[in-house]
Amino acid sequence: MSSNSFGRLLAVTTFGESHGPAIGCVIDGCPPGLEIAPEEFAHDLQRRATGKSRHTSARREADEVEILSGVYEGRTTGTPIALLIRNTDQRSKDYGSIAAQFRPGHADYSYWQKYGIRDPRGGGRSSARETTMRVAAGVIAKKWLRQRYGVTVRGHLSQLGEIVPAGFDWSAVEDNPFFWPHAPQVPELEAYMDALRKSGDSVGARVNVIADGVPPGWGEPIYGKLDGEIAAALMSINAVKGVEIGDGFASAAQKGTEHRDLITPEGFQSNHAGGILGGIATGQQIVASMVLKPTSSLRLPGATVDVAGNPVDVITTGRHDPCVGIRATPIAEAMLALVLMDQALRHRAQCGDVGDVSPRIPGSLDG
Ligand code: EPS
């Protein structure tokens, strides 16, 4: 197993390297009849893309999707959907001087140890470029979930270095390059990132991702837990080092009386569980978050070795993101949507005849 595929009834395979001729994906298992056009991918792909603000990599890719199969006269046919994006702005000479060195904190060394060979141009498969096709596949999942079940998936940045939101407003999120939910803090974030970029260093970040309208029942015990698969999906994103569901690690300090979400006929009174109990959706908001490490490609010298084992100081030049988390919100949304669509299909397959079970508790006190 080479593990470039995930999902069971909705299975997604991505392929391609950052500096290769193209990247792509195959989405197998999408139900027939979903209307989809190449233009529909643009919105989310542009939300994720580089070169949109001075705070991300300056590489400029058109990220235009070609639909190669699985769609006829604008509708999915039920056969594998193959999507392709051609790489057009590779600058592989940026990697010439470090082709034989291992960047500390990067996958260079572990890929080398596993395969004995690696594509050093732009990090190959370990590049953030790989996430492009996840977002493209996620467009299909988001659309199907919304049309078929009224489920929506959205996310926002919830920490940048030490900075956390001082307020929350969904309507602010799409109006700044950080996906930040509190507009008055955006100048502070801009100044922080400008100073960081000047210093040559990088920083980590946290992204929250939330699904509304998920019906109770999606998810599977024991090994197919909804939270387990969300965690695996988010953790599979390059640079992710931590995932939480609901209160996550804060649960360690909580008492049972605090953590349990009390149930009334009018609704759940809280959502510490993040909308999942026993691996199965409760009908509340699904709440997850992920932490991305600071980018390891730095122009500040760091100790490492070369492929011959000699100690060297590595310096990475080129067009790197000082905080790759800044543009990770659409990626988290895509992964959550893909897991939910797969689980929805699996729920329908096994339990489609069960129907609505009473009592059905509203997801929150305001419904
Ligand atoms: C990346 C390094 C930069 C980024 C890239 C991720 O690429 P390059 O080596 O070509 O300058 O631009 O991100 C993308 C191209 C993208 O589409 O996300 C890295 O090292 O991860």
Chain segment 153-179, per-residue pLDDT in tens: 999 999 999 999 999 999 999 999 999
Residue 364 lies in a domain: no
Residue 290 lies in a domain: yes
Residue 186 lies in a domain: yes
Query: In 10 A of CB 23, how many CB atoms?
Result: 25
Spatial separation of the C-alpha atoms in residues 243 and 159, rounded to whole Å: 14
Q: Which residue ranges are tagged as binding site for FMN?
A: 125-127, 238-239, 278, 293-297, 319
Instruction: Give the pLDDT score at 298.
Output: 97
DSSP element (H, E) containing 304 = strand 302-305
The alpha carbon of 123 and the centre of ligand 1 are apart by a number of angstroms equal to 8
Ligand 1 pocket member 296 (CB < 6 A): no
Who has greater pLDDT, 366 or 79?
79
Instruction: Give the pLDDT score at 1.
Output: 54
The alpha carbon of 48 and the centre of ligand 1 are apart by a number of angstroms equal to 12
Average pLDDT over residues 309-328: 97
The alpha carbon of 310 and the centre of ligand 1 are apart by a number of angstroms equal to 27
What confidence tens digit (pLDDT) does each residue in 1-10 have?
A: 589 999 999 9
Residue 298 lies in a domain: yes
Whether 61 contacts 51, CB under 8 Å? yes
Residue 120 lies in a domain: yes
* Ligand 1, atom nearest to 239 Cα: 21
Residue 365 lies in a domain: no
Whether 202 contacts 298, CB under 8 Å? yes
Residue 145 lies in a domain: yes
Ligand 1 pocket member 319 (CB < 6 A): yes
Residue 345 lies in a domain: yes
Average pLDDT over residues 248-258: 98
Lateral strand order in the sheet of 5-6: 5-6, 11-16, 22-28, 81-86, 66-69
What confidence tens digit (pLDDT) does each residue in 72-89 have?
A: 999 999 999 999 999 999
Ligand 1 pocket member 343 (CB < 6 A): no
Spatial separation of the C-alpha atoms in residues 336 and 141, rounded to whole Å: 9
Q: What percent of the chain has pLDDT over 90?
A: 97
The alpha carbon of 358 and the centre of ligand 1 are apart by a number of angstroms equal to 50
Question: For the chain, what is the domain count?
Answer: 1
- Per-residue pLDDT at 238 exceeds 50: yes
Residue located nearest, by CA, to atom 11 of ligand 1: 319
User: 140: which 2 tokens?
Assistant: 């299909």
Domain that residue 205 falls in: 5-351
Name the nearest CA neighbour of 96 among 314, 320, 301.
314
What confidence tens digit (pLDDT) does each residue in 269-279 have?
A: 999 999 999 99
Q: How confident is the model at residue 367 (pLDDT cuts 50, 70, 90)?
A: very low
Ligand 1 pocket member 120 (CB < 6 A): no
Which of 36-40, 119-123, 198-202 is predicted with the least confidence, judged by mean pLDDT? 119-123
Residue 325: Cβ-neighbour burial (10 angstroms; 0-12, 13-18, 19+): buried
Instruction: Give the pLDDT score at 2.
Output: 83
Q: What percent of the chain has pLDDT over 70?
A: 99
Instruction: Give the pLDDT score at 312.
Output: 98
- Tell me the chain's radius of gyration from C-alpha atoms: 21
Spatial separation of the C-alpha atoms in residues 69 and 325, rounded to whole Å: 32
CATH code, domain with 134:
3.60.150.10
Spatial separation of the C-alpha atoms in residues 149 and 151, rounded to whole Å: 5
Residue type, 169: D
pTM of the model: 0.98
* Ligand 1, atom nearest to 91 Cα: 10
- Phi/psi region, residue 279 (left: phi>0; alpha: psi -120 to 50; beta: rest), is left
Spatial separation of the C-alpha atoms in residues 130 and 24, rounded to whole Å: 9
CA atoms in the 13 A half-sphere facing the CB of 196: 24
Whether 230 contacts 336, CB under 8 Å? yes
Residue located nearest, by CA, to atom 18 of ligand 1: 129
Q: Report the chain's mean pLDDT, rounded to a whole number.
A: 97
The alpha carbon of 321 and the centre of ligand 1 are apart by a number of angstroms equal to 8
